[in-house]
A and B are shown apart, each in its own frame.
Chain A
Amino acid sequence: MRGGDGKRNNHDTDLGRPALETALAETWKTPSSLWGALATVDHKIIGRRYIVTAFVFLALGGILAVLMRLQLAQPEARLLGPDRYNQIFTMHGANMMFLFAVPVMEAMAVYLVPLMVGTRNIAFPRLNAFSYWIFLAGGALLWISFALDMGPDVGWFAYVPLSGPQFGSGKRADIWAQMITFTEVSALAVSVEIVVTIFKQRAPGMSLDRIPLFVWSMLITSFIIIMAMPAIMIASTSLILDRLVGTHFFNPAEGGDVLLWQHLFWFFGHPEVYIIFLPAVGMVSIMVATFARRPVFGYLALVMALIATGILAFGLWVHHMFVTGLPRLGESFFTASSMAIAIPAGIQIFCWLATLWDGKPVFKTPLLFVIGFIVTFVIGGLTGVMVASVPFDTQVHDTYFVVAHFHYVLIGGAVFPLVGAIYYWFPKMTGRMMSEDLGKWAFWLIFIGFNLTFFPMHILGLQGMPRRIYTYQPDMPWHGLNMFVSVSAVVLVAGFLVFFIDAIRSVRRGPPAGDNPWDAPTLEWATSSPPPSYNFARIPVVDGADPLWEQREILAVAAGLRTDRRELIITTVGAAKPEAREASPRNSIWPFWAALATSLMLIWSIFTPWAVVWGSIPVAITLIGWFWPKGTPEDEL
């Protein structure tokens, strides 16, 4: 395109800064209409949506937890009957694991990874939009079923034969199994995008040893998702087939095996907790560096620890099955591997402690949550070493000891860093700071409330209280501690309420944040808060692992991309040398329609197998619409 004087003006080298920003905003914008909201492929809009939706599910799951604690505060309480309680604890687990913990980590990655690697949008942006709608549909399926007294009541792990066709009456377990399909498709989609974004769309000069640690952790998490999700896909599909069509995967009388379910589920289920934990660990590395005012100690060790965790995570799953009657020698192997995974975790803790030691800590709210994480996660990790031991586990498996353990590692190990990360990145996402005062209140209430609620559960487990019981007898010695736990849960809830209130208030009324309020080193802080739709006016070029600290005055940039079409730079996998200019898709309504068609097909297939046949017709139509060449300038490349 050439201007009046014959000079072209559609490259970012042709335009001055103000004109450049206007042109890019026009090319990358999302219209502020309903169509724009449904059709956007901007990773920041989708990422924010994803984060908010996941936190809504957290709140809903928290309400379920409160109901459980109210019921368990007294022996033989009649607040909830067994059927309702069974639905509630199943929903609590399934909701927290599938609808909150994994999606929120993915969502943070969807928002942050493209900014941290210095590109304009995530890879496969339309797939990203599709992933959110599918996630929302799966969550809606689960919660609407629960509201209709159709919520699954077989535990979040749905062991057969209880969830099988004979003992799982009605459609409850099918709802669970199909919700898995929704969330696993959504997670797989995002993980594929993350891997490609990290490998191919990094800023020029960002070689592998200069990638921020959160990005590394998301890369490894994405590979874990890709390897682990198929196992549960097979498991849930086999369960649906057994229940709907009459196959015999899990029917011992006809050659199936009850333990097959457990193997398949836990082969996914154990890596699942690392899918939740590793992103949190990446967030901790970032925040520790910023608030210790020095680059994180032991970058190579931390990356190796992440990779080791990812690989080892696949060798632990039998530790969930220690009491099922498998050969004890084989089980002991899994003791060794389950304890071995403490080594990379330990490496990470020691490296962070070294960073703090050598740095100059700034005690802002994110650092408080990091400190809370270290205190709590180490407890959780140590109880993990305890339950990793086969004989120890024969006493504490399926008791409140395990409940305490996994809440320590999941809340301590994932939610604390997540909340700290929200305080940390909230200014970037919204342009406003959250309140430091409320942040300190939230931290102390959550920290104290959490420990008072969950520490006594270790004792309850050793005192003989099993899991998943809707009530207990008055003559058992558990009443006192259960009441204490239930009362302490109020403190924990209060802490989360303070956090939610702070976040909601600060969106509109927080003090404005600048580009880089924490003086942090990574690339997302090199653009405005919130970032413009095109992320960076010109793609940054880096020559170190902490670009904003090393190049304090002026940041080098790459130039030459077009401004009249959506373009970004593709670089090599290793050294991130620029390879090509890549067209990035425009807004499209087809991912929404495809998600709708897929949801329809999946929900219909709960009731009849023919849905897979007839329901795939709308899916095919929407996919054709999606992939049909648009005739936009990007298609010409």
Chain B
Amino acid sequence: MRGIAERMLPVLAPPLMLAGCTGWQSALDVHGASAINLKHLIILIVTVCSIVWALVMIALIAALWHHRDRRELAVSLDPRRERRMTITVAAAVAATVVIISVFTVLSFFTTRALSLAGNDDLTIKVRGLQWWWGVEYFGSAPDQRFETANEIHIPVGRNVRLQLEGIDVIHSFWAPSLAGKQDLVPGRPNELMIRAERAGTYRGQCAEFCGLQHAHMAFFVVAEEQPIFDEWVRLQRQNAATSSDAEVTAGQQVFLSKQCAACHAIRGTSASGTTGPDLTHIGSRKYIAAGLFETTRGSLAAWIADPQTLKPGNNMPMVPLNPEELRSISAYLASLK
């Protein structure tokens, strides 16, 4: 009976494991220099530990069911058998010591390998707030500085230094396909080095419980080839796009006259709020509300109409807008590419 259960588990495990091997937020589907190193370590340690477990199980089964010819109760012990067993146990303990020493040394060297460094580093500042991510890029001059939110673009193959700053409570920056996680601790500036080895979009999520909407605090790291990245930076540095479309212009009016501008900033307009995410190029971001919805005019409208139903407890209030205002403001924001 027991044997069947134990035989089944190794059969079931591989299919279960393969089921989720791919994904843009997975420690097993890795495209970052750090994460690749970590995956190798993970596979090695898991393999060795599985073998150890299997050996212990074999010993257990043998201990329970091997043939024995002893009588019921043994109070006086045979010293020779005790000595033999002592040697066996000691050998097993020694093997354990060797294995964990190897693990410790391997871990130490892997940790060292995770500190990517170079002169070519790109520095980006990431701020963690309740329940979104502020992202700040720098340049050679102060006017080249720009802010965005919830989406970080990086060039492929270059080391990127993320300066992590916790603004309110502790958050944790975790994009498993690229690197391990690092906390954003208020009062303690931390750093995380990442390097993407392949272009693509990688999802990450806050990995330290931070309150009501910890579950909906995702972000995206978009790795692009250097020329595409440079073009993105150039566009982001520009002020918000203007349009001659009537609905879009009306939407801008709504945005500036209602409560929106008090919290959000759109460079090139009079909106310069700092409490909420910067919306200058919201239309070009892939997701809104920290990974809640793909950015479309419809999702923008839904979000603005009732943020508290979609992400209860988040800090965006429900601004009363009539249907035309909602339509025009969503057109305006979707146009901010």
In-complex A–B contact (CB below 8 Å): yes
B72 within 8 A of A: yes
A254 to chain B, nearest CB (A): 10
Cα separation A244 to B234 with both chains bound (whole Å)? 50
Given A252-B188, A259-B185, CB of A463 within 8 Å of CB of B28? yes
| Interface segment, one of B143-151, B154-162, B208-216, B236-244 | B208-216
A346-B107 CB under 8 A given contacts A323-B180, A398-B207, A549-B75:
no
- Asked whether, in the complex, the Cβ of B214 is within 8 Å of the Cβ of A323, the reply is no
Interface-centre pick from A159, A390, A466, A549 (highest chain B CB count, 10 A): A466
Contact with A along B104-117 (1 / 0, CB 8 A): 10111011001100
Cβ-based interface call for B25 (8 A): yes
Which residues on the B side are within 8 Å of A471 (C-beta)? 215
Instruction: Tell me if A391 and B62 are in contact (CB < 8 A).
Output: no
Docked-complex contact A398 and B20, CB < 8 angstroms:
no
> In the assembled complex, which residues on chain A have CB atoms less than 8 Å from the CB atom of B246?
none
* Contact of A469 (CB < 8 Å), options: B49, B63, B104, B215: B215
Within 8 A of B (CB), among A371-410: 371, 374-375, 378-379, 382-383, 385-386, 388-399
Contacts of A83 in B (CB 8 A): 212, 312-313
CA distance A455 to B13 in the complex (A): 9
The reply to whether the CB of A490 lies closer than 8 angstroms to some CB of chain B is: no
In the complex the two chains form, is A398's CB within 8 Å of B37's CB? no
What is the bound-complex CA distance between A253 and B167, given in angstroms?
A: 12
Q: Are A357 and B66 in contact (CB under 8 A)?
A: yes
Closest to B311 in A: A82
Known A-B contacts A325-B183, A477-B23; the reply to A294 vs B73 at CB < 8 A is yes
What distance in Å separates the Cβ of A600 from its nearest Cβ neighbour in chain B? 32
- Among B203, B215, B291, the most chain A Cβ lie within 10 Å of the Cβ of B215
A47 part of interface (Cβ distance < 8 Å): no
List CB contacts (< 8 Å) of A341-392 with chain B. 342-343, 346-347, 349-351, 353-354, 356-361, 371, 374-375, 378-379, 382-383, 385-386, 388-392
Asked if A351 meets B52 with Cβ closer than 8 Å, knowing A328-B111, A359-B74, A361-B64, the reply is: no
Among A159, A353, A460, the one with the most B-chain Cβ atoms within 10 Å of its Cβ is: A353
Distance in angstroms between the alpha carbons of A166 and B170 in the assembled complex: 13
Considering the chains assembled together, what is the distance between the CA atoms of A328 and B17 in angstroms?
31
Cross-chain contact B60 with A374 (CB below 8 angstroms): yes
Tell me whether A161 and B169 are in contact (CB under 8 A): yes
Min CB gap B200→A, angstroms = 15
A220 to B: closest C-beta gap in Å: 20
Find chain A residues with CB under 8 A from B263 CB.
none
Contact B186 A161 (CB under 8 A): yes
Quote the shortest CB–CB distance from B148 to chain A (angstroms). 21
B85 lies within 8 A of A392 (CB) = no
Chain B residues with CB below 8 A from A357, complex form: 62-63, 66, 85
A635: Cβ under 8 A from any B Cβ: no
Q: Does A506 contact B (CB under 8 A)?
A: no
Q: Are A464 and B180 in contact (CB under 8 A)?
A: no
Which residues of B (91-127) have their CB < 8 Å from a CB of A?
92-93, 96-97, 100, 103-104, 106-108, 110-111, 114-115
Q: Is the CB of B100 within 8 A of A480?
A: no
Contact assessment for A468 and B214 in the assembled complex, using a CB-CB cutoff below 8 Å: yes
Within 8 A of B (CB), among A412-462: 447-448, 451, 455-456, 459-460, 462
Whether B37 lies near A391 (C-beta < 8 A) is yes
The segment from A190-198, A331-339, A526-534, A615-623 found at the interface with B is: A331-339
Is there an interface contact between A392 and B38, defined as CB atoms closer than 8 Å?
yes
Bound complex: CA A342 to CA B56 (Å): 14
Q: When A357-B66, A471-B215 are in contact, do A82 and B312 touch as well, CB less than 8 Å?
A: yes
CB-nearest residue of chain A relative to B50?
A: A382
| In the complex, residue of chain B having the shortest beta-carbon distance to the beta carbon of A478 | B20
Smallest CB-CB separation from A550: which chain B residue? B75
Binds B, one of A177-185, A265-273, A295-303, A605-613: A295-303
Interface segment among B39-47, B276-284, B296-304, B324-332: the answer is: B39-47
**Which residue of B is nearest A328, CB measured?**
B111
Q: B209 touching A159 by the CB < 8 A rule?
A: yes
A242: interface (CB < 8 Å): no
What is the minimal beta-carbon distance from A234 to any residue of chain B, in angstroms?
Answer: 20
Q: Is the CB of B183 within 8 A of A324?
A: yes
CB pair A462 B27 closer than 8 Å? yes
Instruction: Decide if B170 touches A396 in the complex (CB within 8 Å).
Output: no
* B174 within 8 Å of A (CB atoms): yes
B176 contacts which of A81, A353, A464, A519 (Cβ < 8 Å)? A464
Q: Which of A361, A394, A463 contacts B180 (CB 8 A)?
A: A394
In angstroms, Cα B180 to Cα A396, docked, is 8
Residues of B within 8 A of A628 (CB): none
Q: B107–A391 contact, CB under 8 A?
A: yes
* Smallest CB separation, B27 vs chain A (Å): 4
A375 vs B55: C-alpha distance in the bound complex, in angstroms? 11
Q: Which residues 200-231 of B have a CB within 8 angstroms of A?
A: 203, 205-215, 218
CA distance in complex: A331, B207 (Å): 19
Q: Report whether B73 and A342 are in contact in the complex, using a CB–CB cutoff of 8 Å.
A: no
Closest A residue to B313 by beta carbon equals: A82
Q: Which of these, B75, B114, B181, contacts A295 with CB under 8 Å?
A: B75
A332, B110: Cα distance in complex, Å: 11
Asked if B41 and A392 make an inter-chain contact with CB atoms under 8 angstroms apart, the answer reads yes
B66 smallest CB distance to A (angstroms): 7
Closest to B107 in A: A389
**Docked-complex contact A546 and B74, CB < 8 angstroms:** no
Would you call B141 an interface residue if the criterion is a C-beta within 8 Å of the partner chain's C-beta atoms?
Answer: no
A143 CB to closest chain B CB (Å) equals 22
Who on chain A is nearest to B19 by CB? A480
Assembly CA distance A97 to B205 (angstroms): 27
**Residue among A342, A389, A398 making CB contact with B181, cutoff 8 Å:** A398
* Nearest 6 Cβ contacts at the A-B interface: A394-B180, A252-B187, A469-B215, A464-B25, A325-B190, A389-B107
Given contacts A323-B181, A394-B182, A464-B27, 7 further A-B contacts (CB under 8 A): A86-B211, A166-B168, A386-B42, A386-B45, A390-B111, A455-B9, A478-B20
29 pairs from A and B in contact (CB 8 Å cutoff): A162-B169, A167-B169, A258-B186, A258-B187, A293-B72, A293-B73, A295-B74, A295-B75, A298-B86, A323-B182, A332-B107, A349-B56, A350-B93, A357-B85, A360-B72, A378-B52, A385-B49, A388-B103, A391-B38, A392-B38, A397-B207, A398-B208, A398-B209, A399-B207, A459-B20, A471-B215, A477-B26, A481-B16, A546-B75
By a beta-carbon cutoff of 8 Å, the part of chain A in contact with chain B is 81-83, 86, 154-155, 159, 161-162, 166-167, 252-253, 257-259, 293-295, 297-298, 301, 323-325, 328, 331-332, 335-336, 339-340, 342-343, 346-347, 349-351, 353-354, 356-361, 371, 374-375, 378-379, 382-383, 385-386, 388-399, 447-448, 451, 455-456, 459-460, 462-464, 466-473, 476-478, 480-481, 519, 546, 549-550
